[in-house]
Amino acid sequence: MNAAARQPQLLLAGGGHSHVLVLRQWALRPQSRPASGSITLVSRHPTSLYSGLVPAVVAGLATLDSARIDLKQLCQQAGVRFLQADITGLEWGRRQLLLQGGERLGCDILSLDVGAITPAPADGAMAVKPLEPFLAWVHALPAGAPLRLRGGGASAVELALALVRRGHPCRLLLRGPGLALGNPAANRAGERLLAAAGVALERNGIYLGPADLACTGSQAPPWLAASGLPVDPGSGRVLTETSLAVLGQRGLFAVGDCGLVSARPRPAAGVWAVRAAAVLATNLERSLAEPPVAEPPQALRCWTPRRHALQLLGDSGAGRPDQQPRALALWGPWALGPTAWLGVLKHRIDRRFMDGFQGWVPPN
């Protein structure tokens, strides 16, 4: 086949929040799918977990299936090939992804949405990320086993409360004097929630033993930095332009927890991966579109993320006489709640997100 007739290959690496939304858009509106080229999604599992529902799964308030997005089916509906494989590296100079087992996957355009992992715990504690082995660990716990969680952020607080609701007495091991929920009002409200559920706090890194579970922040997969791409030194997230294209690289995008918009950095949270999806879809389409001869390629769309995003931290109803789940709303320097109506709002937002994948029929 001569080079001019060759179809460009787009690889979507990882079934993260941005990629599933891009796929859903292509499935719902096939005319928005790039017209030329072949598209492949490569991801470790045939399903992707929606993390907003993970505490509810742990608490026994939602089934595992209700938190899973079927990547194979979604790809089929979007006209995209699905490949289940573990990515171990990237040689961008050769436009190749390296897969476990030694296989290489070539591409012309690559979009990275592989999420983040919990930095490897030194004391043998279970890491919360990746989520699949963590959930298997939860399901194998002996009933009522007391647990010690390391971490003071939103996932540590939500999971401690969820595990209490599941019947495990919990302690939280904090590196500093208090929680790290983003602002003092949120930290105070979080401490009240934990106290009401009987979760004790060990502060300032003075622990009485090793932890069982580590919820100690997120780190981009190390193979990204090892590939020589520009990364943020602290988190290992790949640095991008506001177009989500990796700094100085054409045809390479990074989004979600594994990417960081260098001019407008936002924390690693699913809400930002969700919001970036529309810009990513446009820019993938523009990158794949073949410009008429002698015309420059189309300019990429820029993303202007809002300053703050609403985060709803659920308590799984732990320590409540009526077991009614409540939630705490966090937005920039503000915190509201916890209240039952915020719990209902969280439930609706999570359900609506998942209904977008489970409760629709693609057009013929």
Q: Which residues bind ligand FAD (CB under 6 A)?
A: 14-18, 43-45, 48, 51-52, 54-55, 86-87, 113-115, 128-129, 155, 158-159, 221, 256-258, 268-271, 273, 311
In this structure, are residues 256 and 267 in contact, taking their beta carbons and an 8 Å threshold? no
As measured in angstroms, the least distance from the Cβ of 35 to ligand FAD is 26
**In the structure encoding, which two tokens stand for residue 88, read together?**
């171990």
Name which of 270 and 317 has its Cβ closer to ligand FAD: 270
Name which of 190 and 270 has its Cβ closer to ligand FAD: 270
As measured in angstroms, the least distance from the Cβ of 297 to ligand FAD is 26
As measured in angstroms, the least distance from the Cβ of 252 to ligand FAD is 16
Name which of 44 and 72 has its Cβ closer to ligand FAD: 44
For residue 156, the Cα-to-chain-centroid distance in whole angstroms is: 16
* Complete DSSP assignment for 193-225: HHHHTT-EEE-TT--SS--SEE----B--HHHH
Name which of 54 and 328 has its Cβ closer to ligand FAD: 54
**In the structure encoding, which two tokens stand for residue 284, read together?**
């993938």
Nearest to 47 by CA among 62, 33, 63, 65: 65
* Complete DSSP assignment for 76-125: HHHT-EEEE--EEEEEGGGTEEEETTS-EEE-SEEEE----BPPPPTT-P
As measured in angstroms, the least distance from the Cβ of 223 to ligand FAD is 7
As measured in angstroms, the least distance from the Cβ of 15 to ligand FAD is 4
Name which of 12 and 109 has its Cβ closer to ligand FAD: 12
The dihedrals phi and psi of 91, each to the nearest 5 degrees, come to -115, 90
Name which of 34 and 217 has its Cβ closer to ligand FAD: 217
Neighbours of 188 (CB within 10 A): 14
Alpha-helical regions (H) of the chain:
17-28, 54-59, 71-78, 131-140, 154-165, 184-196, 222-226, 270-288, 340-358
As measured in angstroms, the least distance from the Cβ of 206 to ligand FAD is 25
As measured in angstroms, the least distance from the Cβ of 271 to ligand FAD is 4
Name which of 288 and 327 has its Cβ closer to ligand FAD: 327
Range 60-63, long-range pairs (CB < 8 A, 24+ positions): 60/165, 60/166, 61/165, 61/316, 61/317, 61/325
As measured in angstroms, the least distance from the Cβ of 293 to ligand FAD is 37
Name which of 64 and 289 has its Cβ closer to ligand FAD: 64
In this structure, are residues 184 and 247 in contact, taking their beta carbons and an 8 Å threshold? no
